[in-house]
Chain A
Amino acid sequence: MGAYLVIFAAGFAGSFHCIGMCGGFACALGRDPHGQGATLQRHLLYNLGRLSTYCFLGALAGALGQVICTSQGMTIPLLSSPLDTGQRILAIIAGLLMVAMALQFFGLLPGWHRVSTGFASSALVMSLRSLLTAQGYGAPLAFGVFNGFLPCPLVYAFAAQAASTAGALPGFFTMASFGLGTFPAMLLMGGVGYTLAPAWRQRGVWLAGSCILLLGLITLGRGLLPIAAHVADSWHGGHAI
């Protein structure tokens, strides 16, 4: 359970990073002429779309991790059992990825920024804008779904984390907690439409970086240290099923 709380916190802190890009979208989504309630509904739909994409990615990554681990010849690894080699390797890779993402948040790996956001096709972003102004409830939902697929280092980091859990359900929960963590800030952005002072945004980014670094190191540790496995088990264990 604790792990999910940390992920939620990372999502919350990290969402201040998102404000740069996704926050702009949320602002642009704007208010509904039919009043406060309709506006809220619009933004909830947008965030629901985003969340469902994240959850899908999480479950997919988790299932993928599981496939990798089971193909190692082990039975489906429950998180309460000792970790097998496949899961360890996965954890190391995921941990390294997360650490790299965290360092990028601190501005220490400038080259990584291009790698992690290079796939952004501006054409798609441009064309998505037509959704922002469209009326109806389908548009914000659809926009949220596409938004979830836009390249973002945060999403990559947590997708890696989800894969390392080696299970569709924990993967799903990982991304779901991350997605829920981003809810408050994004709703705030959409509803209030105010921009945070840059200093605060910077602090948010640092906080998010720290959370990801922490998670990354724990994940890495799960792969490397025999003792840490028990720590990790106790983190996830209560919630595995």
Chain B
Amino acid sequence: MTAADDTLCRHCLLPVGRRAMRRTVNGESCAFCCYGCCIANQVQSGNRYEWDAAWLLVRLGVGGFLSMNVMMFSLLIYTDPFAGVDADMLPWIHLLLWLFATPAVVILGGPFLRETWTHATQGRLTASALIVLGVGAAYTYSVFATIERSPQVYFDTACMVLMLFTVGYYLDAVGRARAARDLQPLLAAESELATVVDGDAEQCRPVREVRAGMLVRVRPGERIPVDGVIVEGASHTDEAVITGESRQIAKGLGSPVVAGSINLDGPLLIRSSGAGTATRWAQICRSTREALLRRSPSQRLADGIVGAFVPLILLLGLGTAIYWAQHLPFDRALLTGLAVLVVACPCAVGLAAPMATSLGIGQLARRGCLVRDPVALEALARTRVLAFDKTGTLTSGNARVVGIDSEGVDTNEVLTRAAGLERHSEHGLAHAIAVAAAARGLEPVPTRDVRTVPGRGICGSAEGQPVAAGSGAFMRDLGWLLPPALAEQGRSREASGHSVVYVGWGGRVHAVLSLDDTPLQEARATVEALRYRGLRVMLLTGDLPAAAQRIAAAVAIETEDIRAGLAPEAKSMALDRQQAYGIVAMVGDGLNDGPALARADVGIAVGSATDLARETAALVLPAGGLWMLPWAVDVARAVRMTILTNLMWAFGYNCIAVTLAMLGWLQPVLAAAIMAGSSIIVVLNSLRLERLPDPVPSAAPDQSAAVESAPTTHTCSLPIIAGQAIP
């Protein structure tokens, strides 16, 4: 690993690797991955008044002028007039061609020669060596031919090969820059400028210098640089990069805003609530940058092939020239060897994977889905089995009152009394009961002398009567009467995996509250969508089989795919068993399933981005972003498909083209044109990834509401479930 390995190309944002070229643009030292990017970047973003950018274009233009003239005269020689007229004129025309071709070769070939030299001093041979050798041979031969007044010169070949390569590289780089356009904002989060308002003065400062409490002005159309609260103005924002869902959200005075969202239509003044580097947005950017820098094993393989490719082609070209020299005139043989050199295109092989991968990572990142590295993306595409954790992943993770079984009293009365007691408790179930009462609009009965018995229950007095809520054992301890019907209800509820709270007053148990974790609204649609994609969906949980069964039924997971009652280590083992059938992904909330996520081939965490840093999860979905999982699988598969087609094309192309060239069926100029086209085809094929459909939130119509304000879900579902449960 050299220092160059961990930088991204300034132009196309692919890792520069060992191909790095360094140039100074606008007074800044920049690294580029290839000559094409180098040109394109200087042409497009070079300062308009900067000498360098203009100089480069001048060189290309003058080189083009000269080569076009060379080509034109050669064309005229080849096709008609001069041949017949008088042969005496031919040497003079050759001389003219030489005159034009020499500066053209120097101007256009200079960068290739320099690159070859730099790499040669580092002991490497790259594609530019092929070009230099080919063009050099054609030019040198032609010079001798001109001096010796032989009838054929190949200045046109030398010039056109250089021109085509230069234009090809340029177009290639322009295409790649289109891919980078989407990634650019993702990588710039911390170096982006924020307009900080200090008293009357406004100044632009990098986001990383913004501290909590600073005022930041955001104009319409800008990205909000920091988390904070609106202190002035109103607007709509698009939080797609954080939540994954692209829609307009109205924001007014006092509304919280998140960094990374786009301010759509009104100027805002925001009070920053934290450091600029501590936002999720900044983290997305950091991890995207890291992911882009990592290489997949297949990429290393491709790079290795490219490394071995150039010497091989050199040998083949030389062999071809020597072979044909025995059968053809020397110049024809030379030309055939030259065609072999210029038609081989290692660029297409080298470009097959990284561009598709970075497009895929960028697509996911723009929706708040973070990928650790290209390997994870590749593995996700090949995943056969997808194991879900239950609590907090398929379910909301918060208990809810799902049933009230009462005897002789109104359910509302049960809730008011229970809520009066439970609001004094910190327990999770207590909170659920208080929420259920609030959801029905019930006023809790004021309760005094509240006493909590840890692990058992809570008791106190209200309206002059003792009140208690807790387990069956707690009621027995109090010596209160538990009607057999209620006891039976409680037992059956407990057997099916519910948590049960008995509520009583005046020395008698009056009701049983059943509480349970409920599946997320989008869970069923997500599981079905994953199944539709040919994945086997499993449920791994530490809960009771009955509870697992109920959730599985609700989200449409097959009975035989449930593994319940698993301790954390057992989860890992269950995953190991499945790995015999193929690549296994594990989806968890990231809090409780660290080991299992790390053990799976692809660990997918929902909502917990810290796992990415801890390397337990390879893919992190935004909080409440379970519905995006099928889409992420689609993206991963599309990326893999693109890489495969790219590689197939690149290898197939090279095999066929080199064979044709060796047989002498390809003119060098045609070969150069084909070669320039081949890597452009790889770029265009990869760019198709830009047009992948967006994730469809319709699978979960109300999911964002469910995530942002959990209580709302209670209002809609509690009455139905409770109503069914009441005898």
Contacts and interface: CB of A to CB of B under 8 A. Distances in A.
A161 B35 CA distance: 37
A91 interface: no
Output the residue of A52, A55, A142 with the most chain B CB within 10 A: A142
Contacts of B315: none
A52 B65 contact: yes
B80 A49 contact: no
Contact of A133 (B46, B48, B62, B76): B48
B159 to A, nearest CB: 12
A130 B75 contact: no
B334 to A, nearest CB: 23
A80 to B, nearest CB: 13
A126 B49 CA distance: 13
A167 B79 contact: yes
A143 B62 CA distance: 9
B58 A123 contact: no
A63 B80 CA distance: 10
Interface residues of B, number: 30
A53 interface: yes
B48 to A, nearest CB: 5
Contacts of B71: 56, 59-60
Contacts of B85: 241
Contact of B68 (A56, A63, A143): A56
A130 B68 contact: no
Nearest to B76: A168
Contacts of A56: 68-69, 71-72
B44 interface: yes
A231 to B, nearest CB: 23
Contacts of B75: 59-60, 63, 168
Contacts of B55: 134
Given A127-B44, A141-B61, A145-B64, A168 B54 contact: no
A203 interface: no
A130 B62 contact: no
A interface bracket (residues with beta carbon within 8 Å of B):
35 or more
A128 B46 CA distance: 11
Contact of A49 (B49, B59, B65, B79): B65
Interface string A132-154: 01101011011111100000000
B72 A172 contact: yes
B61 A127 contact: no
Interface string B326-340: 000000000000000
Contacts of A172: 72, 76
A12 to B, nearest CB: 23
A142 B76 contact: no
B80 A167 contact: yes
Contacts of A47: none
B72 A146 contact: no
B62 to A, nearest CB: 5
Interface of A: 49, 52-53, 55-56, 59-60, 62-63, 66, 76, 121, 123-124, 126-131, 133-134, 136, 138-139, 141-146, 167-169, 172, 241
Interface of B: 43-44, 46, 48-51, 53-55, 57-62, 64-65, 68-69, 71-72, 75-76, 78-81, 85, 174
The 10 A-B pairs with the shortest beta carbon distances in the complex, nearest first, are A142-B61, A134-B54, A56-B68, A168-B79, A138-B58, A127-B43, A145-B61, A130-B54, A142-B58, A59-B72
30 contacts: A53-B64, A55-B68, A55-B72, A56-B72, A59-B72, A59-B75, A60-B71, A63-B78, A63-B79, A123-B174, A124-B43, A126-B44, A127-B43, A127-B53, A127-B57, A130-B50, A130-B54, A133-B48, A134-B55, A134-B58, A142-B58, A142-B60, A142-B64, A144-B65, A145-B61, A145-B64, A167-B79, A168-B76, A168-B79, A169-B80
Given A76-B79, A145-B61, 7 more contacts: A63-B78, A66-B79, A127-B53, A130-B53, A138-B58, A142-B60, A142-B61
